[in-house]
Amino acid sequence: MSSILNDPVSLVALIGALSGIVAAVIPLIEILFNRLRKELTYRELSDVPLVSANVASMVQISLKDGTPCGKPISDADLLVLNIRNTGNTNITSSDYIGPIGFTFPHREVISVTDVETKPDSGLFGLHDVDSSTAGRITLNHPELNKQAAITLSVLLKGRKDPTTIVGHFGGLRGGRIQRYRSQKGISRRAVFLGIGVMVTLLSASVLPARTLLSSAANCASGSLAIGGSTALLPLVSTAATTYHNMCPGAMISVNENTASSKAGLSSLAAGNIQIGDSDLTSSNLRLTDNRVAAVIYVMVVNQNIPHVTDLSTKDIQGIYRGSITNWQQVGGPDQAIFVVNRTTTSGSRATFEKYILGGKMISSPPNYDEEDTSGLMAQKVANTPGAIGYVDVRDALVTPNLRTLTLGGVQAVPQHIIDDSYPLWTIEHLYTQGNPSGLTNAFIQYMTGKDLQPLVKALNYVPFNDLPSGTVNQHPSPTAPGGL
């Protein structure tokens, strides 16, 4: 020991090593101290206007009991709120000192939907959410196991305040409730550990900063053009907005003039866009397929057909092929049927022909019209007495003067897509020229990543990863014609 004390170099090394050990031990003590600490964090996964890119009619509007209202929405925002147990122990109802409340300044709460609870313990539901106070929701003591989370879709109306959400809490016994903070820099704990390791090892190198950073969005800059399926337009438009908000250097344009699955594939092949949306499976071997979600379609009729609530596949075939021309033939009033269809470039029409009609339409019924988009078809049916059509679930739920039908007694809900008991649905594809790179690849990863999945569900799609492989194999998308 005396030789070390008499040697300045050895003394400096000893002091450095002891300092390093102390610096490394401090955060370890902090970690052990917080091991059983209860912690609940909340954050907005997205907060985007629904009026952008003509997507005002893309969210299910529900009453508190989950019954669709069927009323149109304008100037509304969709906020997806995530509440997670980020502590190291379970949280029970008795741990709360009071309820959890969230206020949205200068905005009115139109509806709240329980998008997802993971794991699904059955201990939390919409009956635990109170939205009766204007601009505020209250959660009644949600019980959450370690790392479990609740995701809510909140539809808001009014001017967005710079402070989008304010939390009100009675407190958490033995813990805390706070807004989620993404550490974009190096945390204090990481600094102590880094200094401790470096000094202890007397390393002359500097640790790469990125090894100490928390994960962040995979941001890329540049420009990206997307077009194609109108059934996927609401999700793509909303995702483009949220991605740009996180990554301002990304300029993503959604081309609404490229408004069909076939047009999307054609424009992609011609090099006019970088991502082609399609309900159809491409046979072009130069294109790379990225499957993102399932879109659900539902049969709709004009509201003046009150007694028809269900049609069989055989009934629909008869209507669209012209052998059934009066609603009286299927239990409705004595009124002529007006048939509305999509145009031949539509992937939705290809899906309808494959899984409902069992083949292409050869001739048109007596009263017949075709529309370019799902939204236009919904409006046509709503404005035409005796009309019938098929639209995606979002348009069906928010278009006035429409009534939805079941198919052979089966409802158009996600669970019936997952088990393939409901026939009218298809996979939405994001196609690229070869393997994507740069912003194109980053955006596709964002579209298919877990952070966007609550928004996918809030917009009434079924995430592709939720579909069993057997269901996907038994229900392939129609193939695009002409080598597209």
Note the pLDDT of residue 387: 97
Contact 434, 286 (CB under 8 A): yes
Which residue's entry shows tokens 């003046």? 304
Task: Looking at the structure, tell me whether residues 28 and 42 fall in a common domain.
Answer: no
427 in a structural domain = no
- Alpha carbons 22 and 42: distance in angstroms, whole number: 34
Task: Looking at the structure, tell me whether residues 120 and 24 fall in a common domain.
Answer: no
381 in a structural domain = yes
Task: Looking at the structure, tell me whether residues 387 and 365 fall in a common domain.
Answer: yes
Query: Which class for 306: exposed (0-12), middle (13-18), buried (19 or more C-beta within 10 A)?
Result: exposed
Task: Looking at the structure, tell me whether residues 377 and 330 fall in a common domain.
Answer: yes
* CATH number of the domain residue 397 falls in: 3.40.190.10
Note the pLDDT of residue 210: 30
Neighbours of 302 (CB within 10 A): 22
In our burial notation (b when 16+ CB lie closer than 10 A, e otherwise), range 407-420 reads beeeebebebbeeb
Kindly write down the DSSP assignment for every residue of 254-274, as one continuous string.
Answer: EETTS-SHHHHHHHHHTTS-S
Task: Looking at the structure, tell me whether residues 313 and 271 fall in a common domain.
Answer: no
Task: Looking at the structure, tell me whether residues 135 and 154 fall in a common domain.
Answer: yes
471 in a structural domain = no
- Alpha carbons 255 and 237: distance in angstroms, whole number: 10
Task: Looking at the structure, tell me whether residues 28 and 43 fall in a common domain.
Answer: no
Give residue 202's domain range: 2-33+188-212
- Alpha carbons 229 and 264: distance in angstroms, whole number: 7
Task: Looking at the structure, tell me whether residues 341 and 398 fall in a common domain.
Answer: yes
Total domains in the chain come to 4
* CATH number of the domain residue 105 falls in: 2.60.40
The beta-strand segments (E) located in 231-371 are 250-255, 275-278, 287-302, 310-311, 338-342, 368-371
426 in a structural domain = no
Neighbours of 65 (CB within 10 A): 7
472 in a structural domain = no
Task: Looking at the structure, tell me whether residues 42 and 172 fall in a common domain.
Answer: yes
- Alpha carbons 51 and 160: distance in angstroms, whole number: 13
Note the pLDDT of residue 185: 42
Task: Looking at the structure, tell me whether residues 328 and 441 fall in a common domain.
Answer: no
482 in a structural domain = no
Q: For residue 279, give both structure tokens.
A: 């309900």
pLDDT in tens, the chain (484 residues): 554 455 554 544 556 555 555 555 555 455 444 545 788 888 887 777 663 333 333 343 333 333 333 444 556 777 888 888 888 888 888 888 888 888 888 888 887 876 666 655 444 555 567 766 678 888 888 888 888 888 888 888 887 777 678 887 778 888 888 888 754 444 444 444 444 444 444 333 332 323 222 234 578 999 999 999 988 988 998 899 889 988 999 999 998 777 788 999 999 999 999 999 999 999 898 999 999 999 999 999 999 998 899 999 999 999 999 999 999 999 999 999 999 999 998 999 999 999 999 988 878 888 999 998 888 999 999 999 999 999 998 888 878 899 999 999 999 999 999 999 999 999 999 999 999 999 999 999 999 998 888 888 888 899 999 999 999 999 999 999 887 8
Task: Looking at the structure, tell me whether residues 124 and 255 fall in a common domain.
Answer: no
475 in a structural domain = no
Kindly write down the DSSP assignment for every residue of 123-181, as one continuous string.
Answer: S--GGGEE--STTEEEE----B-TT-EEEEEEEEEEPPPSS--EEEE--BTTEEEEE--
48 sits in which H/E element: strand 38-49
Task: Looking at the structure, tell me whether residues 347 and 257 fall in a common domain.
Answer: no
Note the pLDDT of residue 99: 83
406 in a structural domain = yes
- Alpha carbons 41 and 86: distance in angstroms, whole number: 6
